[in-house]
Amino acid sequence: MTHSVSRSVGTLAFNGGTFRSDARAVPEETAVAISVGGSTHAVMMATPSHFRELAVGLALNERIVETAAEIERVEIASSDRGVDCRLWLCAARAGEYTVRRRQMAGPVGCGLCGVESLELAQRVLPTVAIRAPQLAPADIEAAIAAMSNAQGLSRLTRAVHAAAFHVTGQGLVVAREDVGRHNALDKVAGHLAEAGIDPATGFLTITSRVSVELIQKAAVMGCGFIAAVSAPTALAIREAEAAGITLVAVVRGADFEVFTHPARIAGAPPLPGP
């Protein structure tokens, strides 16, 4: 089944004190179920594209698997009601997942929903080492511009988020758009995993506000640098600090703010105190 990512709808535009007939492109979204070993793990609304990347990236970022190689196969089944992305794991991982499901109160979509206790929501994140080359301020500006240029669906609809991965000296590697900011980053993670690209060799850019879930996903990916167009939450800043992630946000052309670990940025002084 072929999926369209947008459609044109008729509207009534009110401007200059009068109504007129108009049309607008709007993004499509569809229900996507991620199932593991025949059991539903998550149901979310997503842009109907790159389903395999979404499923693989979510499995990695939620630590269902450690590597994409532990996923034996992925089946994509479409119907009028949505899309089912079926993951089948190697025997060892399948057994671990069965034990994990016993601790879950219900399916989760964002990484924090449906858990049985607050303790399960407090993820212990790996610390990301400073392995990637330092970035110059101009690299950050260029990366955000490159992501913007790759946002065809956003230019058409003005209603989707984007995430992208870049390598210094190489430029944009992959960009993905989705109605869900978590989905966009999971699609990037899935692409990198299946292409055999180590996220530690480059850095991420995102269009959305920086919520704690996005920091958690970056930490699990092993990527130590995020640059965002929008601002972060306080918890996201604390998690980025603890995980060793350089968080740059509120990027506006050549201007930006550094919230954590400025040592990865060439010429940046230490952060001021509170």
User: Any idea which residues carry the catalytic annotation?
Assistant: 110
Are the C-beta atoms of residues 243 and 259 closer than 8 Å to each other? no
β-strand pairing of 225-228 with 255-260: unpaired
What one-letter code names the amino acid at 237?
I
Are the C-beta atoms of residues 198 and 222 closer than 8 Å to each other? yes
* DSSP sequence for 6-41: EEEEEEEEEETTEEEEEEEEEE--EEEEEEETTEEE
Residue showing tokens 């506006």? 252
Are the C-beta atoms of residues 248 and 258 closer than 8 Å to each other? yes
3-state secondary structure of 166: strand
